[in-house]
Structure 1
Amino acid sequence: MSSNNTLFTFKFFSSIENIGQSTWDAFAVHHSPFCHYKFLHSLEATGCVGGQTGWHPQHIVVYQNLQPVGILPLYKKTHSYGEYVFDFAWANTYREYGVNYYPKLVSAIPYTPVTGARLMTALNIDKAALLNALCNTIQKQLENLSMSSMHWLFVDKATSEHLSQHDQLMRLSIQFQWFNKAYTSFEDYLTTFNSRKRKSVKKERLKVSEQEVTIKRLYNKQLNQEDMTFFYHCYKQTYLKRSGHEGYLSAKFFEKLFIEMPNNLMLVVANRAGTPVASALFVYDKNQLCGRYWGALEEISSLHFECCYYQGIEFCIEKKIEMFNPGTQGEHKILRGFEPIYCYSNHHLAELAFHDAVAKFIDSESKSLEQYKSQAEELLPFKKQEKK
């Protein structure tokens, strides 16, 4: 369907394939690999999105003078799983009042809590004017399809501030991320720690090697499909043990990702006495490394920290990558030098009474998060003069 205003036309698509790679990547190519056509198409083509998954594509292409000038990844959701900005309490409140919370609209990268572009446009576009028109169009779509709400997840701060001017409530969350301050080696990085915490990290890494574990990092031409198959076996087994299901992402997805985006993947493989026992898969570009997927066949003390954190830090130092996002949650990251940072999402609820109630909730939550962030910063391992 299409919606018009004086400047822009918006068209909704139920499949990224119907948009095409050339149109999509004309706007996404300079953004995170997660925004690229190949990543999002891999999710749809392998059934990780669509069908019975509860993620139904509603991607928007923006036109001006009949020419595409922007895109927005968008999904109709029938649940709140795989989002990492938690609104289950809001859904419960709707249910208590006999009102449907689902379906809702969500602009996000499925199963990927990484801050990045959502609305991606041509350089000469007035983005503020476009956001205004887009918010109006989406609100009409909520009415037309009887959906409860619109959610923008893990947007950049500037976009969140723009959205908040259009009745899209700004909500904060916290992640722990690592920043490369021109370190020359892991040892150089550890010199910024106070003595006690520097010794703790060294002891933790030594413990891994003392258990006859060796680690290798594979990327570009070093990485092959056999390695990816082993990784998926670890990933599936860990999900089964932890959650009782095989994970949101399938073997076919990871196979396709390897074929489509091999130069954006880095794999850590742990071997014990010559036998592979664990693996962690990362997605990266020249700006950031994202640690997204992990699995282990054995319980080995400190191995998760080594594979998912320390190996990622070493890779960033080696490749001069500025930032490392190891995933959501986890206060244990603080003592390893991952700093608390705000992440931003925005929310519009069609029912005014619920919208106002959520606004009050977010205001209260933000005050608690501010205190939590300050407390987390006090726990960072850096020498006082090195603290951010």
Structure 2
Amino acid sequence: MPETNPPLLKVLSSLDEIPSADWDSLANPGYPPILHEQAGWIDSPEMTQPEINQLPDSTPQGTSFNPMLSHAFLQALEESGCVGWDAGWIPQHLYWEENGKPVAAVPTYAKSHSQGEYVFDHAWADALERVGGDYYPKLQSSIPFTPVPGRRLLISPDVNRAKAVKVLTSGLMELTNRIEGSSAHLTFLTEQEWKELGDQGFLLRTDQQFHWDNNTYANFDEFLNALSSRKRKSIRKERKTALEHDIEVEWITGPDLSEAHWDAFYEFYKDTSSRKWGSPYLNRKFFSLLGERLADHTLLIMAKREGRYIAGALNMIGSDTLYGRNWGCVEDHPCLHFEICYYQAIEFAIAKGLKRVEAGAQGTHKLARGYMPNLTYSAHWIANPSLRNAVAHYLDQERQAVLYEQEILSSHGPFRQQDT
């Protein structure tokens, strides 16, 4: 018999509408919520990284802490104005609770463009608009401006997952219809979610990123010893070249992060953004909020010369993963980008016992530096039947091409057993 009281989904226009602990219980189940005093919340006891690394023993199987799914990170994007009406990222988070308890959620935005997503659908938009349709608005489930794989269907481990998947996917389709949108997109989701959404009629897409895996290395030299002789020599040469001209490197995290650090890094970020996108997606206020609320999960790797910061990379620290985010510089030095973004990140991960480094989107140049290709996943629901059929045909071919490229790249990795 059908349910007499079907689940009721709320649409949140801001994460301020629910307590952070409720969201975080879904986004990072089993981990303590990130709390701060500004909203009248009580601070949680401080935890060291080794203590955090032990938490998965008591968490649902397969989950790990991802700071960018947290209420603190997503709400900082909203409060700073990086997302909102003016940015064309309008919060429309799906949220399901029963008897006052959180059951499931999806970080969701209504969008008037396809910027800041890293899974490109511009050709789909052009095709629909050429025949007189409107591609925008659309729904986007992702972490804005952040091509980091992770969970998108934030489902409590205490409920029936199959039922929750159906409820959430139906909710996404209904919300798309209500905003008179063309489509709903969930990007950089997990492989499990990808398969579940495929079962619900979503179109399936793949791409790849380059990740470094920590094979329980004791130090950077032990990692180098796993590489072919030629690659090992090349990396040592790059590292030496990068730090010429008396360049020093600092790791800055936790209470050591200051507004002066963010001032310097924001200048780096603006320089990169102006060259890639024309204008930065993130504003200066966001970085202050990040340092205020997620300092223990934030790492700045900064290069200094003659007492002045000249380059830096922003990373986020998860329970088992270091997530490389943004890079920039105000002085150009050969190989400095490789040192700050890739080699220093590896050193930090080894020192802190992290399992991997995810260095962001794209970049086959990462392969020679120990970062191997990994598939990424996205799922798409398109309302227009003709466009849906055309995209489905295209994606069938694209998935095969991505798999073929991954196989070729993997066979040319830098490790000794892969050396050709």
Whether the 8 Å contact between 2:228 and 2:419 is mirrored in structure 1 is no
Q: Distance in 2 between matches of 1:261 and 1:340?
A: 29
Letter matched to residue 28 of structure 1: A
Whether the 8 Å contact between 2:155 and 2:164 is mirrored in structure 1 is no
Deviation at 1:229, TM superposition (A): 1.4
| TM-score scaled by length of structure 1 | 0.95
Q: Choose which of 364, 370, 375 in structure 1 pairs with 2:397.
A: 364
In structure 2, relative to structure 1, the CA distance for the partners of 1:208 and 1:96 (3 Å cut) is: same
1:256 aligns with 2:261: no
Counterparts of residues 35-74 of structure 1 (less than 5 Å): 35-65=69-99, 67-74=101-108
Q: Distance in 2 between matches of 1:285 and 1:25?
A: 14
**Equivalence for 1:77:** 111
Letter matched to residue 190 of structure 1: L
Q: Distance in 2 between matches of 1:299 and 1:242?
A: 16
Letter matched to residue 15 of structure 2: I
In structure 2, relative to structure 1, the CA distance for the partners of 1:201 and 1:145 (3 Å cut) is: same
Letter matched to residue 354 of structure 1: L
Post-superposition Cα deviations, 1:340-388, rounded to whole Å, max 9, x if no partner, equal 000111001011111111110100111111111111112211001799x
1:154 aligns with 2:153: no
Q: Distance in 2 between matches of 1:337 and 1:78?
A: 38
After TM superposition, the structure 1 stretch with the greater mean CA deviation from structure 2, 289-298 or 20-29, is 20-29
Deviation at 1:117, TM superposition (A): 1.2
Kindly, what percent of the aligned residue pairs are identical?
Answer: 36
**Equivalence for 1:307:** 340
After TM superposition, the structure 1 stretch with the greater mean CA deviation from structure 2, 320-329 or 6-15, is 6-15
Whether the 8 Å contact between 1:238 and 1:297 is mirrored in structure 2 is no
Deviation at 1:151, TM superposition (A): 0.5
1:211 aligns with 2:245: yes
Whether the 8 Å contact between 1:192 and 1:386 is mirrored in structure 2 is no
Q: Distance in 2 between matches of 1:268 and 1:144?
A: 44
Q: Choose which of 174, 197, 208 in structure 2 pairs with 1:163.
A: 197
1:297 aligns with 2:296: no
**Equivalence for 1:346:** 379
Deviation at 1:222, TM superposition (A): 2.8
Counterparts of residues 8-157 of structure 1 (less than 5 Å): 8-30=7-29, 31-65=65-99, 67-157=101-191
Post-superposition Cα deviations, 1:9-50, rounded to whole Å, max 9, x if no partner, equal 111111111123132122223441001010000000010000
Counterparts of residues 144-293 of structure 1 (less than 5 Å): 144-245=178-279, 247-293=280-326
Corresponding pairs, count = 383
Deviation at 1:160, TM superposition (A): 0.7
Q: Distance in 1 between matches of 2:263 and 2:189?
A: 32
Q: Distance in 1 between matches of 2:69 and 2:84?
A: 17
Q: Distance in 2 between matches of 1:310 and 1:194?
A: 17
Post-superposition Cα deviations, 1:165-223, rounded to whole Å, max 9, x if no partner, equal 00011110100000101001100000011001100000000112223211111122332
Letter matched to residue 297 of structure 1: V
After TM superposition, the structure 1 stretch with the greater mean CA deviation from structure 2, 234-243 or 254-263, is 234-243
Post-superposition Cα deviations, 1:232-268, rounded to whole Å, max 9, x if no partner, equal 11111232244432x1000000011100110011111
Whether the 8 Å contact between 2:153 and 2:168 is mirrored in structure 1 is no
Partner SS state of residue 285, structure 2:
helix
Deviation at 1:227, TM superposition (A): 1.1
Post-superposition Cα deviations, 1:96-119, rounded to whole Å, max 9, x if no partner, equal 111000000111110111111112
Partner SS state of residue 238, structure 2:
helix
In structure 2, relative to structure 1, the CA distance for the partners of 1:189 and 1:60 (3 Å cut) is: same
Q: Choose which of 353, 362, 378 in structure 2 pairs with 1:320.
A: 353
Partner SS state of residue 361, structure 2:
coil
Q: Distance in 2 between matches of 1:66 and 1:263?
A: 30
In the alignment, structure 1 segments of 5+ residues that lack a partner are: none
Q: Distance in 1 between matches of 2:153 and 2:416?
A: 40
Whether the 8 Å contact between 1:151 and 1:345 is mirrored in structure 2 is yes
Letter matched to residue 303 of structure 2: A
| TM-score scaled by length of structure 2 | 0.88
In structure 2, relative to structure 1, the CA distance for the partners of 1:187 and 1:38 (3 Å cut) is: same
Post-superposition Cα deviations, 1:257-312, rounded to whole Å, max 9, x if no partner, equal 10011001111111123322111111112211011011100111100000000000
Partner SS state of residue 100, structure 1:
coil
In structure 2, relative to structure 1, the CA distance for the partners of 1:265 and 1:76 (3 Å cut) is: same
Letter matched to residue 116 of structure 1: G
Deviation at 1:120, TM superposition (A): 1.4
RMSD across aligned C-alpha pairs, in angstroms? 1.6
In the alignment, structure 2 segments of 5+ residues that lack a partner are: 30-64
Post-superposition Cα deviations, 1:68-106, rounded to whole Å, max 9, x if no partner, equal 312111110111111111101100101111100000011
Partner SS state of residue 333, structure 2:
coil
Whether the 8 Å contact between 1:5 and 1:133 is mirrored in structure 2 is no
Q: Distance in 2 between matches of 1:22 and 1:354?
A: 40
Letter matched to residue 179 of structure 2: L
